Structure 1
Amino acid sequence: MDLSNRTDLIVGATSGIGRELARRFAAAGSTVAVGGRSPQALSELDGEGFGAFGVDVRDSASVVSLRDAVLARHPELDTVVTMSGVMLLEDLHDPAHFEAARTTIDTNLLGTIRVIDAFTPHMMQRCAGTFITVTSGIAFMPFPPMPSYAASKAAVHAYSEALRAQLDGTGVDVVELVPPAVSTAGQEKVNPLALPLDDFATEVMQLLSQNPTPHEILVKGVLMHRWAERDGTYDDLVAQRSRALAMLPSREG
């Protein structure tokens, strides 16, 4: 993928990985628009020269308004990145966890689908372009304290595979970005093994620049998750990760 002359929309770029990738794409020479919910973050990104648009991916009308506003300003749009996501702990011993599950699925899975649905007609009319979906190493090897997060990302992986198959022959490609734990939003305090954001973004840009672009963007730090079942390490790794269940209220003491 030539990153030097694209017009990108990154939905969920107000923090973390999305924000860093927006800066990297712009530095590579692309025009970048960003979408998100935080007015303060959008104002900051606007100050950096990005086209900033408010959007709540849980609201279909908001996503449609985003599409109309972005295409009015950037009719040449050729890349849409669906980055919005939440990571919530859930204690399955407590029925109240369902609200966290609902929020997670509505944001991570249905939010992704809403954004893709909104921009698919534009991409198909162009007969060219790329959707970049964002899953997680947790899609392939769950982190037990976050069951709905794992389920939502596994679903986005399957949806991405199906979307790629359905768009085959249209000129529109689907690329799946699969991050491991990355040190954003304080994750370095929770997981000292989290990959530094700068290192992660550098490796992602290198992989995206390959020709042809891989269908899955897999940095070295996520390979152990992606291929755990194939490599016969899955059960042991899930057992190790299950120790984190001790952080849930019902397991304390």
Structure 2
Amino acid sequence: MKTSGNTILVTGGGSGIGRELARRWHELGNTVIVAGRNESSLAETAEGHANIHPMVFDVSDPADIERFVRDLIGRFPALNVLVNNAGIMHYEDVTTKRDLADAEATVVTNLLGPIRLTDALVDHLARQDGAAIVNVSSGLAFVPMPKAATYSATKAALHSYSISLRAKLEGAVEVIEIVPPAVQTELTPGQSTREGYLPLGTFVDQVMMQFESGAPPEVCVPNALVLRNAEKEGRFEEALAITRSF
């Protein structure tokens, strides 16, 4: 993926990883659209950045995705990069019967959302020069956090989906997966100051270094490799013990 001259859509661009990636790509000379549900948060991301453009949509609503994509391509016909970053995370007790509303919302937002948005944009992207799809998964795709079982499962599925997309879109659209470790964001309450989690700025610095030097198919910062390579290195049970303690 080239580092400048793109028109980039970042979902979940109102906070956390999405916000910081949007601002860094803007600094490199890209047009960036930040999209999500919270208009005020998106406006905050864009404030002071002339070429960051907020657009409101609901990634969990198929009809709104179709409406959003029509508006998006109408306003930004040069769009050539999709960043599927929007996601939610809920802790859950899977040991007893419960209300599955949070689990179902997690599947819809974290997995069906990227699948639907990719489907809505793939024909357009395939016609663009330098086209790319960037999916933001998680180290928990490789070693789950048991108290966030559904979140972990959706990220494992997104990792698998990214591999399939990469194989099928080879030569037409580049497919890159960003694999975050535990990062200090507000994905869960109090996480932005949690000890032992990677500071957001450090994480984004490390990600952008890889993009600027030619992003590999999987962008794994050093902290993410502890989980990404656990099974291959025979450390899976040890790594699971770590995620169980989070």
Shorter chain as normaliser: what TM range? over 0.9
Contact conserved, 1:37 with 1:55, CA < 8 A, in 2? yes
Q: Structure 1 CA distance, aligned partners of 2:147 and 2:72?
A: 37
1:198 Cα deviation (Å)? 0.7
Q: Structure 1 CA distance, aligned partners of 2:115 and 2:213?
A: 26
Q: Structure 1 CA distance, aligned partners of 2:40 and 2:128?
A: 34
Where does residue 195 of structure 2 map in the other structure?
192
Where does residue 7 of structure 2 map in the other structure?
7
TM alignment of 1:73-88, pairs within 5 A: 73-88=75-90
1:205 to 201, 205, 208: 208
2:60 corresponds to 1:71: no
- The two structures have a TM-score, normalised by structure 1, of 0.91
Identity of aligned residues (%): 39
What is the SS of the residue equivalent to 1:141? Answer: coil
The one-letter code matched in structure 2 to 1:88 is: H
1:47 Cα deviation (Å)? 3.3
Aligned residues between the structures: 241
Contact conserved, 1:91 with 1:97, CA < 8 A, in 2? no
Which structure 1 residue ranges, 5 or more long, are not aligned? Answer: 245-253
What is the SS of the residue equivalent to 2:89? Answer: coil
The one-letter code matched in structure 2 to 1:42 is: L
Residues 196, 65 of structure 1: alpha-carbon distance in 2 compared, 3 angstrom cutoff: same
1:214 to 209, 213, 216: 216
What is the SS of the residue equivalent to 2:32? Answer: strand
Q: Deviations over 1:67-104 (max 9, x none)?
A: 11111111111111011100100101232242221011
TM alignment of 1:75-224, pairs within 5 A: 75-126=77-128, 128-169=130-171, 171-185=172-186, 186-189=190-193, 191-211=194-214, 213-224=215-226
1:127 Cα deviation (Å)? 5.8
Contact conserved, 1:10 with 1:18, CA < 8 A, in 2? yes
The one-letter code matched in structure 2 to 1:187 is: Q
What is the SS of the residue equivalent to 1:9? Answer: strand
Larger Rg: 1
Contact conserved, 1:90 with 1:97, CA < 8 A, in 2? no
Judge which range, 91-100 or 65-74, deviates more.
91-100
CA RMSD of aligned residues (A): 1.4
Structure 1 runs, 4 residues or longer, greater than 4 Å off: none
Q: Deviations over 1:183-224 (max 9, x none)?
A: 1113144x411111111111101111223x200000011011
1:38 Cα deviation (Å)? 0.4
